[in-house]
Homo-oligomer: A and B are copies of this chain.
Amino acid sequence: MKLSPGSALLTDLYELTMLQAYFDAGVNETASFELFVRALPMQRNFLMAGGLEQVLDYLEHLRFGPDELSALAKTRRFPAPFLRSLEHLRFTGEVDAMREGTVFFPDEPVLRITAPMREAQLVESRVMNLVHFETVVASKAARCVLAAPDKLLVDFGLRRAHGAEAAVLSARASYLAGFGGTATLAAGLAFDIPVYGTMAHSYVQAYADEAVAFEDFARSQPTNATLLIDTYDTEEAARKVVALAPLLLNDGIAIRGVRIDSGDLGEHARRVRRILDEGGLSGVTIFASGNLDEHRLHQLMSEQAPIDGFGVGTRMNTSADAPYLDCAYKLVEYGGEPRRKRSEGKSTWPARKAVYRLTGPNGVMAGDLITLANERRDGEPLLEPVMRGGKRCAQPVTLHSARAHAWRQLRALPNAQRTLDVDEPYPVAVSDGLRELARRLDEGRPG
């Protein structure tokens, strides 16, 4: 059968075996699950929430259609009455979540789903899959933005992203975090993200003469050509650009920029800048790419390399130094009663929770407090109602406004979280009420 990313079958088998057991036993009271991260990866000092829009889309469209039901029937795993119950299953519940682009920390619920048990259970696998991945990428991309805040950063990672959806959603998540665009055409079209493109080495190689390759490309892209100049000799190619520019200008064609993709990017950029400037091409920009991440961006910024924009690919799209988060989607309340898992090293805070953020003078983040959902505290509550009765209930949040929110969040980071080094943790406290409830549950219920 053909895979559809929104299919109800994009789930772990155990969600369905559990649903069948719930169905057989008549278990379906209201359940609340919270999605949170247990600990920061070693190389992160904050996380940025992503993926909520895709989760809401998934929940609004969740259903077992005829194709799915017939595929399930063919497995002979499930009795007919249970399959009939799936036919009518829709997500009718509630979602409370942090806005996309919100900075968050371990143990803080980033999303809560409250719904009849079967609905809330079924959606676990895909909801985690979406929130986890976009959060992984937004958190990595945010570090790149902090390293080079005034530069154009463009997602270059389709080829080494983990499949089609990873390519498109990492373009989205990096744009959310402050990137200026993507090279992935499908992502640009799907999410209205600016798309950038230059040329590959193969284009230059297809010509016997590099200068002719440049000229043909510029004539084909008369207002928009960025020429890749490192296929053979970078500085020699920059001199060819200088020689070519006046001829093209006669025909009304202006070269927009050059790209360097190998070697010492900072050193090449300085030499190329000099060649271009001395050749009267001070308006031609220099774009750099090749194995970039926040650390290399920071290095190039420190040495004031004359680079106007960066293509950041693989290491950002795969979040190469921290490609996953230790996240969980845990039952915190069932049938009105708080629940707590106590597995070794994996115990969780019980009950529906809220997160309040305190800010100091100048709006800088000063500390978060995790409380029971019904406690009222000072500070900004980070979770908002976004879905009620299975339908979006909040004003629609565009990717562009989420990106503006993310930018404000990054500006409000304390210095210890703004740096790439991981040093001083951000203060996150747990309310007395929540601690007391956890203690009470541990005493009262040996399991």
Which residues on A are within 8 Å of B, measured CB to CB?
Answer: 1-3, 5, 7, 9-18, 20-25, 27, 31, 33, 71, 75, 77, 117, 121, 124-126, 128-130, 132-133, 136, 156, 158-170, 183-186, 188-190, 195-203, 205-207, 210, 216-217, 219-221, 224, 230-234, 236-237, 261-263, 314-315, 318-320, 323-325, 327, 329-331, 334, 339-346, 446-447
Contact = CB atoms under 8 A, between A and B. Distances in A.
Question: What are the 7 closest A-B residue pairs judged by CB atoms, nearest first?
Answer: A232-B447, A13-B197, A163-B165, A162-B162, A14-B197, A263-B344, A202-B331
B262 A230 contact: no
A262 B314 contact: no
Contact of A206 (B7, B160, B334): B334
A120 to B, nearest CB: 8
27 contacts: A3-B164, A3-B168, A5-B165, A9-B185, A9-B189, A10-B158, A13-B195, A17-B220, A18-B200, A21-B199, A21-B220, A24-B220, A25-B219, A125-B184, A128-B160, A129-B161, A133-B160, A162-B163, A163-B164, A163-B165, A202-B331, A206-B334, A232-B343, A262-B343, A262-B345, A315-B324, A319-B323
A302 to B, nearest CB: 22
A379 B190 CA distance: 49
Contact of A323 (B24, B75, B320, B447): B320
Contact of A231 (B9, B133, B185, B342): B342
A223 to B, nearest CB: 10
B343 A14 contact: no
A249 B24 CA distance: 19
Nearest to A314: B324
Nearest to A343: B262
A356 B158 CA distance: 31
Contacts of A21: 199, 203, 216-217, 220-221
Contacts of A447: 210, 231-233, 236-237
B345 A263 contact: yes
A97 B346 CA distance: 45
A400 B16 CA distance: 26
A111 to B, nearest CB: 13
Given A25-B216, A206-B117, A341-B205, A5 B159 contact: no
A210 B231 CA distance: 65
Given A11-B186, A165-B166, 12 more contacts: A3-B164, A5-B164, A10-B164, A10-B168, A75-B189, A75-B195, A162-B318, A202-B331, A206-B331, A210-B447, A262-B344, A262-B345
Nearest to A24: B220
Given A9-B186, A186-B11, A189-B9, A162 B160 contact: no
B166 A162 contact: yes
Contacts of A189: 1, 9, 71, 75
A130 B160 CA distance: 9
A184 B12 contact: yes
Nearest to A209: B447
Contact of A129 (B3, B160, B169, B217): B160
Nearest to A215: B25
A232 B447 CA distance: 6
A447 B23 CA distance: 70
A447 to B, nearest CB: 3
Given A13-B196, A124-B200, A202-B121, A186 B320 contact: no
A109 to B, nearest CB: 15
A221 to B, nearest CB: 6
B200 A159 contact: no
Q: Which of A12, A161, A198, A220 has the most CB of B within 10 A?
A: A12
A200 B348 CA distance: 14
B331 A33 contact: no
Nearest to A230: B343
A61 B136 CA distance: 32
B261 A186 contact: no
Contacts of A3: 5, 164-165, 168, 186, 190
A17 B199 contact: yes
Nearest to A127: B159
Contacts of A168: 3, 10
